[in-house]
Amino acid sequence: MTSDLKSEIMTDSKKLSFDSSKIQDDFPILETKINGHRLVYLDNAASSQKPEAVINALDNFYKTTNSNIHRGLHTLAEKATNAYEHCREHVAKFIGGVSCEEIIFTSGTTESTNLVANSWGNENIGEGDEILITEMEHHANLVPWVLLAQKKNALLRQIPITTDGTLDLTDINKLINEKTKLLAVTHMSNVLGTINPIKELIELAHKNGALTLIDGAQAVPHMPVDVKDLNADFYCFSSHKMLGPTGVGVLYGKKEILEKMPPYILGGEMIREVSFEKVTFNDLPHKFEAGTPNIADVVAFDTALTYLENIGMENIRNHEIEISKYAIEKLTEIEGITIQGPLDETIRGAAISFTDRDVHPHDISTFLDSRGIAIRAGHHCAQPLMKVLKTVATARASFYIYNDRADVDYLAETVKEMRRYFRG
């Protein structure tokens, strides 16, 4: 982040938004030309771009610090270990001030949910038990539970959605009952943008003796998240959606639960003592981090967290409320375009899926790409949701800190041009 921008944000505590055009200067990839046009990157729900500070942090680690961690006694090993563990401390603070023992580094949200399914799930889900999800889940928070339910002869149930893309909680007191062992839901939908009432759902689950797992991949990058306030038992998210490198994820779990769970992957680092007859496991969090971790990318993730903090997560949320409102207004003005999900920008994130009554989403994406606009088209790893929406795919434009109204205007005008092109 430029020093001028940082100063502007830090000295104006009442500022509700920020100048995205200044932030754009920190992202080298935004200078890229696509088919002769300026890049307008609107695929942030899939993965965000990286500021120069994060790129430099990754480069600097390999140039000055590269070493394996934890067991080495030499200078580089200690330096690398300190940098890696500093990121763990930073993550713990970023999501509400939890214990470092409760922060497990994984390869991403997908591995985080699989870890819980294969460790806690295998130990605690039995025949006749119920797992409750929603109709809007990403496959990462769906497939592990489908297979676990099949393996354990348990029942996988779903909270339905309404026509406006919010959760239908009419029968929630029947869906969450004494048979429910786990509530696994997304905090924010990657397709609909819907922000779910997570705190209320967690409270209801706990009243019925169930544990909770929250997929926060779309939430943590875009708004303040306090897992202690939510009282989540497990919370998962990924670095690459919040300005950090790929290949780094986080699983937060309550210490008392993690301590009772068996390791997910076996090997080095996660052990305390090994013989041919017996194995004892390491303390948290290392019990769940077998082998050499993704050290350099974790260290660079630390820098990404600092970048977001310098802007302020409240500021980011307010910016996305503003840009979502503007984008919804512009897109709904276009004949033939239908937005999937809530139209109220205050209960949704900045991932906006839409369909065209005349043009397939893949053709929309291809045409927009020819004009330099990067969106995503397809089922977005949410095939059951597509069936609920009665469509095979959607086009999705998703916004972040470096997107502004000019990007929305260009998107809307290009969608209009696309419709003229395909309709003749």
Residues annotated as catalytic are: 381
Sign of CA dihedral 344, 348, 352, 356: negative
- Torsion angles phi and psi, residue 186, rounded to 5: -80, 140
CA-closest candidate to residue 128, choices 79, 55, 178: 178
Report whether 161 contacts 136 (CB < 8 A). yes
Residue 178: DSSP 8-state: T
3-state secondary structure 120-166: HHHHHCCCCCEEEEECCCCHHHCHHHHHHHHHHCCEEEEECECCCCC
- Altogether, the residues listed in the chain come to a count of 424
Sign of CA dihedral 226, 232, 233, 235: negative
Neighbouring-strand partners of residue 33: 38
Q: Which residues contact 135 (CB under 8 A, 6 or more apart)?
A: 158, 159, 160, 161, 384, 385, 388
Distance CA 62, CA 308 (A): 23
